[in-house]
Structure formats: structure tokens, C-alpha cells
Amino acid sequence: MLTVKDLFVRVESADGGKEILKGINLEVNLGEVHAIMGPNGSGKSTLANVIAGKDGYEITSGEVTLDGMDLLDMNPEERAREGVFLAFQYPVEIPGVSNATFLKTALNEIRKHKGMEELDAMKFLKFMKEKMKMVGIEDKLINRPVNQGFSGGEKKRNEIFQLQMLQPRLAVLDETDSGLDIDALKIVSNGVNLFRNENNAVIVVTHYQRLLNYIVPDFVHVLVDGRIVKSGGKELAFELEEKGYDWIINPETATETV
Amino acid sequence: MNNIRTKEHYIAEFIAVEESMNGEASSAFHQIRKNAITQFGKLDFPTLKNEDWKYTNVKALLEYDFTHGSSIKLSKKEVEQYLIKGLAENMIVFVNGIYSPEHSYIQKQDKGIIIESLNDVLKNNPERVLGHIGKYAGIENGFTALNTAFAKEGTVIIIPDNAEVKSHIHILNITGEAGKNIITQPRNLILTGKNSIVKIIESYHSLSSEENLVNAVSEIVVGENSFVEIYRLQQENSGSFHINRTQAVQGRNSTFTHYSVTLGGGLVRNDTNILLNDENCTGNLYGLYLTEGSQHVDNHTLIDHAKPNCQSNEMYKGVLNESSRGVFNGKVFVREDAQKTNAYQSNKAILLSSNATIDTKPQLEIYADDVKCSHGAAIGQLDDEAVFYLRSRGIGAEHAKRVLIRAFANDIFETIENEILHEHLNNLVFEKLG
């Protein structure tokens, strides 16, 4: 479904920028969960942002396609309407816009794009209540401005709530586990597990293996310095947890610590 | 007309008006006018050299020969478009600055409540306003002097102790006449006794596309334990000049809340000042200005904490597009006596175009040592992160920006409890922002 081919990306900055991704290849099929792990600064979040269409990156070469559609040629809202969803590492606070109004607008934009009827206030409310129950999100968070005054955990839960509401085909979770205590981690993971099925796919970007105890991946990729240096099954995550990243980054000098 | 000629023009007019007066020229009230015209002669119109007018050049308005409009007949329908639908209002209507009894309507109010035109009060009961007009809004510049010198028409609201005015009072000012540049100088006086409540809407509109000048002064006395709310709404045409001075003086335990909403006008200057003149007062100043084209909107505010244990909240917001210009100067004065003052000021603006500019100057002068004062100014573009967040959920770029700008602007109305008024103001913002 998602194909990333020889992707090279520079980040734009005043001093001329810097190459962050140096030839990424990735194939994600329907029904699969892929974990992308790696040390800080390896390019994990850049990959997530580039898939979602964030500004500030220069794609020097390569391609990213979703079911054959060229994602790089689409703006962020078009990607979202085609089913790409990014759960933000740092969800943005939007004063003055209630969570419910925001989601109704977003959902109806996506439905309109798909040729589906827009939901009226009643139908939307019913649908929302269902999803709120599923993700365990309280009424007070729904009527408050988007993410404003939310705790770290509430913000992440709100991202998963949006995931459930918008039902994308490809969910990219960027460090969704950061800043969560174990209870919040379980709630968030549960939301993702309820979401995953044969008709969608999930990319979990994370520094730690911890989240993968709850969202069990089919594939694990290790990203180091802009390249995927190792891919494997879920057992690779355990290995990383045990040995750290060093044995992959410097295979010659790393000592066994088993 | 140049500056000198303009000044002389108004002084000559004053003399002409005086000569046409029968008896009134010797009245006590006219003495106030005479003093004011003398002051005007000394002060003249402000120039950029005047620190308080550094960013607002009024030279353009001196080029016009403003004349007085006539009380042209308007149909009921023409006036109705300015009413706030669904809100049962007491209406005081002025057409070209002249009181229009046929369009005005005051509900039956409790005994002692006076809601009348200044002209009527001066004719029938001048003692009601004597000793008040000119007492609170001191003459600091040529505009206030000019307004006082020609003070003749406006609205007088007097609320006795323990009274609440039923429904909002809407002072509706409609100005314009084909082929004429009209000047109006409304002079309003609002006096409340103890434990009283009044809510006032002051709105300004243009009937034609000609450039007019409105030079308004309002004096407000908020009595002990009283609540006064004022919503000032400026929707005149984009060539109009609008100068306003509002001065409120608060008594013990009183609450004064003022909303200044500037959507129209070419050159707008608002001086909104409150004096917290006794203990336990709350003063709230909220402002919103949405500008485009070559509009110039200058908001000067002064919150004067004279006594202890008072609080003030001030929040002004602007959205500036095209080559429009904004000025915000917010002064908070905490006098030596005003211990335990709590003063909060915030001033934010979004510039939507690289040609739009804003000059902002928060000024805190604190002479007491046990106070809490904070101020913040934030000028910027729309938050790119927020725009991306909305777009990443399927909301188009333009739509996302609109949502964010509206949210930024409408935030100022959050504290308005009356839902109809709240909705009305939200809608005006939607209409203006598109």
C-alpha cells in the first residue's frame, strides 16, 4: 500500500540545510504494523513528517506512493483525505476551536472527498459518542479547544481519538509513547489495536521498545543516520531493548552484553 | 483646508453658533463650552510631535470641509438593518448626529431611570447634567476640546440607586448624506447610582460612501456596587474618520466592562480610559480590530489604579490585512495608594500581509509595592504548526487559516454572557473576515 523508494530528504535551514534521510526504502502492506526504531536524530520524525506532507523539507530524490498515488505531489489535506493520518509527537494547541467542531469539520471534509454524505449534527454526535467510549475520552475534553490545557497524556489520547474518528488507511504514530505513564500507554495502545485491521496499516515510530509490548509489530526497522540499517520481525525490538543501538551502529566495536 | 485654517474655521463657527443663541449663551452649561473653545484654540489638533499621537497622523482629516448633516428621513426598514436581531433593545437613534424620536424607542423602565437625548435634557432639565459633563473627561487634546465646545447632542442615561435598566440600550449613530462630508460630535453621559445595572451598545454606521468625521466623547460614572457594560461597535465606511474618547470613573465595588470592536472606518482613534477610584473595583477592557485596505486603527487605553484592592483585565486583539495599520498603546497606572492591585494586560495581533504594520506599546507605571501586574504583547503571523495540524486532518489550507483567524478574533467575545449579542458579534467578525 505505502511504498517509499530511495527517499533522500534535506531539512531546510538558514545555514543551507542538512541531509536527514539518505535513501529510505520501505514497503507497507494492508494489515501490517511496522515499527521504525532508532536513536535520537536518526530521521524517524522526518520520515513521519514527510509522509504527512509537512513543510520545511526538501525531497532531493525518491518517491513515496500510496496505492500508486504520488503522495509527494499532494498537499497535506489531500493526503489526509486519501487516508494518511499522522499522530503528532507534539500535538498542537488550537485556542478558540472546540475539539468537536474541529473533528466535525475534518470528518466532513474527508467524507465529501470520498463522495459520502456529510454527517449532520445529530449523526456526528452519535458517531462521536461511540468513539469516545472506545478510546475512553471524557466529555470535557470534547468541548474544550483542541489540546488546549490538556495534559501530555490527554493530548496523546486525543490523537488516538482522532485516529478512531477519521479512520484513515495509513496511520503514522510519531513517538506516541513519549511522555506517557504506563496506564496512559495502555489506553493509547488499546485504541491503536482496536483500529488496526486488514484494511489499514500502521507505522509506529518510537525510540523505545516499551510501546511495542502493547502494539505488537509485524516488522521492525532500525533507522540510523538516515538509513534503514536493519529490518526484522518483532524480536528485533527486544534485541534493541536489551543491547541498545550501539551493536548496530558500530558492529565491529560493540561488545556483547548478554 | 490646512491646519491653521481648520482651527480658525471651528472657532469662527463657535462664534456664529453663540451669536445665534437666545439666552442660552449666558447659561451655566455654555460656560463649559466657552472654556473648551478657548482650550481648543491653545491645543489645536494633535500632530505627530505629540507623544500620544506619534503614530496617528490626523492631517488627512484637516483636508476636508466637514459640514453638518440634516435630519434626513429614513424608513423603518433602513434603520432596522442596524438592530441586533432577537435582542429586545431600547433604541436611541441619531441620524447625522441629530436625535430621531421617530426611530427611538424606550421600554417602560423603573421610576427614576432617565434615557434621553442630551439636546432634550439641555432644553428641559440642564441641571441634570451640569457639574458632570466635562468633569470626568478632562481636555487633553484638541478633539475632546472641540467636542466639548460644540456639546449639544448625544445620550444621557441616569440610573438611580437600586435600579436595573430593562434590556440593552442601543445608541445607534447613522451618518451620511450624498455629496456631503458630515461632522457629528456625540456627547454621552452615563451616571449610575448605587447597586445599579445597565448594558449599553453604541454603534456607528455610514449611510453613504462619503468621508465623514465622528468625534465622540462619553463620560461614565459607575456607582458603588454597580455594573456597567458597554459594547462599542464601529462599522463605518472605509473613508471615514472616527475619533472617540471614553472615560469611566468607578466607585467602590463596581464593575465596568468595555468592549471596543472596530470593523470599519478609515482612520480610527479610540481613547478608552478607566479610573478605578475606590476600593474593590473591577475594570475590564476588551478590544478587537479587523483592518484591511489602508485602514488605520489606533487604540489608546489608560487604566488608572488610584485605590487599593482593585483588579483590571485588558485584552486587545487585532487582525491586520493588506496595507492597514494598527496602533496599540496600553498604559496601566498604579498609584502609590493602590496596594494589592491586580492588573493584567494582553495585546495580540496577527499580520496577514507583509504590508500591514502595527506599533504596540504597553506602558506600566507602578508606584505601589504590593501589586501584581503583568503584560504581554504578541505580534505575529498565523501559527504554521496549527495550520499544518488542521490540514493534516483533511481541512484545506484556506479553510484552516480562516478557522484559526476566526478563533483568534472571537476569543475576545468569550466572556459575553448574552448569547444573542455574542452570536451577533461572532457573525460580524465572520462577515468581515470572509
**ipTM score of the complex?**
0.95
Confidence category of residue B434, pLDDT binned at 50, 70, 90:
confident
Mean pLDDT of A68-89: 97
> In this predicted structure, what is the pLDDT of residue A12?
82
Which three cell numbers mark A157? Answer: 489520547
Interface contact A106-B385, CB threshold 8 A: no
Mean pLDDT of B212-236: 98
Q: Specify the residue for cell string 441634570.
A: B128
Question: What residues form DSSP beta bridges with B220?
Answer: B190, B248
Quote the CA–CA distance of B180 and B85 in Å, as a whole number: 31
Quote the CA–CA distance of B233 and B214 in Å, as a whole number: 13
Give the closest-approach CA distance of B415 to chain A in angstroms: 12
User: What one-character DSSP code corresponds to residue B339?
Assistant: T
Give the closest-approach CA distance of A85 to chain B in angstroms: 7
Minimum mean pLDDT range among A153-157, B302-306, B319-323, B348-352: A153-157
> In this predicted structure, what is the pLDDT of residue B230?
98
Q: Specify the residue for cell string 501490517.
A: A32
Is the Cβ–Cβ distance between B197 and B226 less than 8 Å?
yes
Interface contact A95-B407, CB threshold 8 A: yes
> In this predicted structure, what is the pLDDT of residue A1?
93
- SS3 for B30? helix
Quote the CA–CA distance of B188 and B219 in Å, as a whole number: 6
Residue B176: φ, ψ to 5°: 145, 140
Q: Specify the residue for cell string 463650552.
A: B33
* CA-wise closest residue to B45 among B142, B147, B150, B185: B142
Which three cell numbers mark B342? Answer: 491586580
Residue of B nearest to A83 (CA): B394
Longest dimension (CA), chain B: 74
pTM greater than 0.90 (yes/no): no
Interface contact A105-B399, CB threshold 8 A: yes
* CA-wise closest residue to A66 among A53, A77, A79: A79
> In this predicted structure, what is the pLDDT of residue A254?
52
Interface contact B395-A109, CB threshold 8 A: yes
Interface contact B406-A54, CB threshold 8 A: no
Mean pLDDT of A81-86: 98
Which three cell numbers mark B40? Answer: 481648543
pLDDT tens digit sequence for B357-368: 999 999 999 999
Mean pLDDT of B405-412: 91
Sheet strands (E) in B118-162? 155-159
Rounded mean pLDDT of chain A?
A: 92
> In this predicted structure, what is the pLDDT of residue A258?
43
- SS3 for B120? helix
Which three cell numbers mark B198? Answer: 445597565
> In this predicted structure, what is the pLDDT of residue A136?
83
Assess B408–A contact: CB distance below 8 Å, yes or no: yes
DSSP A150-215: --HHHHHHHHHHHHHHH--SEEEEESTTTT--HHHHHHHHHHHHHH--TT-EEEEEES-SGGGGTS
The more confidently predicted of residues B430 and B235 is B235
Mean pLDDT of A93-104: 92
- B21 CB neighbour count, 10 Å cutoff: 11
Is the Cβ–Cβ distance between B200 and B231 less than 8 Å?
yes
pLDDT of B348 strictly over 50: yes
- Cα angle, residue B117 at apex, residues B69 and B123 outer, rounded to 5°: 95
Mean pLDDT of B301-329: 97
User: What one-character DSSP code corresponds to residue A91?
Assistant: P
Residues from A contacting B (CB-CB < 8 Å) are 52-55, 75-77, 79-81, 85-86, 88, 91-97, 102-103, 105-107, 109-110, 113, 145-146, 162, 166
User: What one-character DSSP code corresponds to residue B397?
Assistant: H
> In this predicted structure, what is the pLDDT of residue B24?
83
pLDDT over 90, % of chain B: 92
pLDDT tens digit sequence for B15-45: 999 999 878 888 999 999 999 999 999 999 9
pLDDT tens digit sequence for A158-215: 999 999 999 999 999 999 988 888 888 998 899 999 999 999 999 999 988 889 999 9
> In this predicted structure, what is the pLDDT of residue A255?
54
Q: What's the gap between Cα B75 and its chain centre? A: 27
Pick from B390, B394, B400: CB nearest A110: B394
Confidence category of residue A137, pLDDT binned at 50, 70, 90:
confident
Quote the CA–CA distance of B311 and B297 in Å, as a whole number: 27
Helix or strand run (H / E) with residue A141: helix A139-143
Helix or strand run (H / E) with residue B314: strand B311-320
Residue B62: φ, ψ to 5°: -80, -10
Contacts with A207 (C-beta within 8 Å, 6 or more apart), sequence order: A37, A38, A39, A40, A44, A175, A178
Mean pLDDT of B46-71: 93
> In this predicted structure, what is the pLDDT of residue B308?
98
Please report residues of A whose CB lies closer than 8 A to that of B408. 95-96
Question: What residues form DSSP beta bridges with B198?
Answer: B228
Give the closest-approach CA distance of A97 to chain B in angstroms: 6
pLDDT over 70, % of chain A: 97
Quote the CA–CA distance of B311 and B284 in Å, as a whole number: 9
Longest dimension (CA), chain A: 63
Helix or strand run (H / E) with residue B252: none
pLDDT of B2 strictly over 70: no
> In this predicted structure, what is the pLDDT of residue B384?
92
Residue B141: φ, ψ to 5°: -145, 170
> In this predicted structure, what is the pLDDT of residue A16?
77
Sheet strands (E) in chain A? 2-11, 18-28, 33-37, 57-66, 69-70, 84-87, 94-98, 145-146, 170-174, 201-206, 219-224, 227-232
Mean pLDDT of B67-85: 93
Pairs of CB atoms within 8 A across A/B: 77
Mean pLDDT of A131-160: 90
Quote the CA–CA distance of B148 and B137 in Å, as a whole number: 10
Q: What's the gap between Cα A33 and its chain centre? A: 11
pLDDT tens digit sequence for B87-102: 989 999 999 999 999 9
Pick from B393, B410, B411: CB nearest A106: B393
> In this predicted structure, what is the pLDDT of residue A110?
96
Interface contact A52-B386, CB threshold 8 A: no
Which three cell numbers mark A221? Answer: 526497522
Sheet strands (E) in B24-135? 89-95, 98-99, 114-117
User: What one-character DSSP code corresponds to residue B334?
Assistant: E
